[in-house]
Amino acid sequence: MNFDLTDEQLLIQQTAREFALAELADGVIERDEKKIWPAEGIKKLGELGFMGMMVDPKWNGGGMDTISYSIAIEEIARIDASASVVMSVNNSLVCYLLESFASDFIKENYLSKLTTGEKLGAFSLSEPQSGSDASNMKTIAKKVGDDYVVSGTKNWVTSGINCDYVILFAVTKQGIGHKGVSAFVVDKEWEGFSCGKPENKLGIRASDTCELYFDNVKIPKENLIGEEGMGFKIALATLDGGRIGIAAQALGIAQASLDASISYSKERIQFGKPISANQGIQFKLADMAMEIEASRLIIRQAAYLKDKHLNFGPMASMAKVYASETAMKASTNCVQIHGGNGYMRETGVERLMRDAKITQIYEGTSEIQRVVIARGLLN
């Protein structure tokens, strides 16, 4: 067993760390407060090759492994969780899906632009009545001649407003459950497509989330991903990988919470000594460090299994539950260690707590992850 990162992985870690500090740290509190999309940062992430990291260079991707990707997400999330989710969705839900399941026509015309950052992707599975019960969707894609005509409403779509292309899941055959779901790539410019208002969220406020409306949108049949009826399996297989990205995002938030807690507790003097001299604070720091290290190891193991093309779904779910619960706990304790200062927006640590919460919810709630883990044990 080898725990060392390769030279390439170390370089990616250093590059992502320096990039996040230089390009994302400035203004992160204001972007959160005012819901300002990190346009410049996202553009530069594309230029850096971080928007299609795991894709074959044939499609302009970085050809990197999943461990490298998880390291980069962690470093970006450590500074700006909003930017990291945009990066995560584009890499693991959009590019990975297209590379794994789409035709060469789609790879040539869509994937090759998403990997460079020229275009941005979104993943649209959920609907108002179907969140965890993801196959229970009402959006219909009806075959009419050489097109599919789509009508329906999708919701909670990350990057819905700022993206160019959407991976859409819709029902092509009704009454047969998940076997009637198909996946498409949709250009936002097509007639009949519109976005709702940006949602007013608790955290990751600089990323956009919105509803998408399809009013008889014509999708050419070439834009069907895989075969008709394969959409739900494509979604679940893709989410297995996405969960590694969200786990890495949670890890970045947890690490930022520990970093801030260590430096504040050494500076803050109460009763004539730094508060870090108290065991009550030290034990919190120790628990954070322990759980962060454990999260990192599970994430790396899930990434390793994925790169080896082994069954990695349950391990990705373990990584997501463990890292997101660690992020929530670490960020809450970070605010506690900061006391009254932590409760103020200006210190930026209450943002970590708000950002951490979504990692327990999106790309499958912690409860759904436990369902996936238990199924792996019992099957």
DSSP 269: E
- How many other CB atoms sit within 10 Å of the CB of residue 30? 11
Neighbours of 197 (CB within 10 A): 9
Q: Point out which residues bind ligand CAA (CB under 6 A).
A: 85, 89, 93, 123, 125-126, 132, 134-135, 158, 178, 232-233, 236-237, 239-240, 313, 362-364, 368, 371-372
CB of 370 to ligand CAA, least distance (A): 10
Instruction: Give whichever of 243 and 284 is closer to ligand CAA, judged by the CB atom.
Output: 243
Identified catalytic residue from 228, 346, 363, 367:
363
Please state, in angstroms and as integers, the Cα–Cα distance from residue 367 to each residue in 79, 232, 330, 373, following that order.
28, 19, 20, 10
Give least dist CB 156 to ligand CAA, A.
6
Contacts of 178 (CB under 8 A, 6+ apart): 135, 232, 233
Identify whether 199 is a catalytic site residue. Answer: no
Length of the chain measured in residues = 379
Nearest to 342 by CA among 334, 282, 15: 334
Q: How many other β-carbons are positioned within 10 Å of the β-carbon of residue 189? A: 8
Q: Alpha-carbon dihedral of residues 185, 315, 75, 66, nearest 10 degrees? A: -60
- Least distance between ligand CAA and beta carbon 46 (Å): 18
Give the residue from 210, 141, 208 showing the smallest Cα distance to 169. Answer: 141
Instruction: Rank residues 314 and 342 by Cβ distance to ligand CAA and give the closer one.
Output: 314
DSSP 149-204: EEEEEEEEEETTTT-SEEEEEEESSTTSGGGGEEEEEEETTSTTEEE-PPP--SS-
Shortest distance, CB of residue 259 to ligand CAA, whole angstroms?
25
Phi and psi of 159, rounded to 5°?
70, 15
Q: Which is nearer to ligand CAA, 96 or 264 (CB)?
A: 96
Q: Closest separation between CB of residue 132 and ligand CAA, Å? A: 5
Q: Which residue type sits at 59?
A: W
Q: How far from each other are the two terminal CA atoms of the chain, in whole angstroms?
A: 28
Q: Which is nearer to ligand CAA, 273 or 308 (CB)?
A: 308
CA atoms within 13 A on the CB side of 343: 3
Q: How does DSSP assign 195-248, residue by residue?
A: E-PPP--SS-TTS-EEEEEEEEEEEEGGGEESSTT-HHHHHHHHHHHHHHHHHH
Task: State which residue, 65 or 127, has the beta carbon closest to ligand CAA.
Answer: 127
Rounded to the nearest whole angstrom, what is the least distance from the CB of residue 146 to ligand CAA in the complex? 28
* Residue 225: CB minimum distance to ligand CAA, A: 14
Catalytic residues: 363
